[in-house]
Amino acid sequence: MIVRLLNMLLGLVLYAIGIVLTIKAGIGYAPWEVFHVGLSGVTGLSIGVVSIIAGVLIVIIVTAFGEKLGLGTVASMVLTGVFIDIIIAINIIPAAGNLAAGIIMLILGMFIIALGSYFYMKAAFGAGPRDNLMVVLTRKTKIPVGVCRLLVELLVTLIGWIMGGMAGIGTVISFIGIGVCVQIVFSVFRFDVTAVKHETLRDSFLKMFQR
């Protein structure tokens, strides 16, 4: 259990580092970051806090449609936003100075996000809020999950862009590249995501406190 918790935390830290790298690349944010940064600019809240609020709202929606939550769902909802704010606050990742540096930072960020996803999913504490949203939409609409993901990401990109989030070549690269990066990382670690059996929040707590 301790090893799994450490894997989850490591995954979330890496995920947050990857997200900040894609933001600092400055050539257009990944879809959800376009939305988060845009909403942050409108509300005056930090990007991390906006990410947490969006996660809470998504969790409420997916729970209403019968999805079971896991410890990882809650941790992802809260800690990713906290880690993003900490990384931005300590300013350890500089902004890209030119297009070439921005592309390199964006690609590096996507690979780190993929690595974070590996550790996070390996822990088997449940999917993140946005992944659960894809599951709900697929189940309710019967539309393939890939199409649902694309439609949702196009929608949040558009809304975020209207609110002032940066959409650009980096957004296009992210649309295409994140799936490739995840596939490469999972292949390197020989990780079969379909073999993972995620625990519910209740099951995780029972295991933690059992004698």
Q: What pLDDT shows up at residue 79?
A: 93
CA–CA gap between residue 16 and residue 3 (Å, rounded): 20
Q: Which residues, other chains included, contact 95 with Cβ-Cβ below 8 Å and sequence gap of 6+?
A: 24, 26
Note the pLDDT tens digit of each residue in 17-55. Answer: 999 999 999 999 888 999 999 999 999 999 999 999 999
Burial of 93-113, coded b for 16+ CB within 10 Å and e otherwise, reads beebeeeebbbebbbbbbbbb
Chain center to CA of 100? 25
Q: What pLDDT shows up at residue 92?
A: 92
Residue 152 pLDDT more than 90?
A: no
Mean pLDDT of 14-19: 95
Q: Dmax over Cα atoms in the chain, in whole Å? A: 56
CA–CA gap between residue 211 and residue 193 (Å, rounded): 30
Q: Model-level pTM greater than 0.85?
A: yes
CA–CA gap between residue 152 and residue 133 (Å, rounded): 9
Confidence of residue 198 (pLDDT cuts 50, 70, 90): confident
Confidence of residue 146 (pLDDT cuts 50, 70, 90): low
Q: What pLDDT shows up at residue 145?
A: 65
Q: What pLDDT shows up at residue 177?
A: 87
**Higher-scoring residue by pLDDT: 143, 125:** 125
Q: What pLDDT shows up at residue 175?
A: 84
Concatenating the DSSP letter of every residue in 65-127 gives: TTPPP-HHHHHHHHHHHHHHHHHHHHT-SPPPSSHHHHHHHHHHHHHHHHHHHHHHHHTTS--
Q: What pLDDT shows up at residue 66?
A: 80
Mean pLDDT of 148-177: 89
Structure tokens of 22?
A: 């894609």
Confidence of residue 16 (pLDDT cuts 50, 70, 90): very high
Note the pLDDT tens digit of each residue in 163-189. Answer: 998 899 999 998 888 878 888 998 899
Q: What pLDDT shows up at residue 25?
A: 94
Cα angle: 23, vertex 21, 106; to 5 degrees: 85
Note the pLDDT tens digit of each residue in 62-90. Answer: 888 887 788 988 898 899 999 999 999 99
Q: What pLDDT shows up at residue 196?
A: 72
Q: Are 40 and 47 in contact (CB under 8 A)?
A: yes
Q: What pLDDT shows up at residue 19?
A: 94
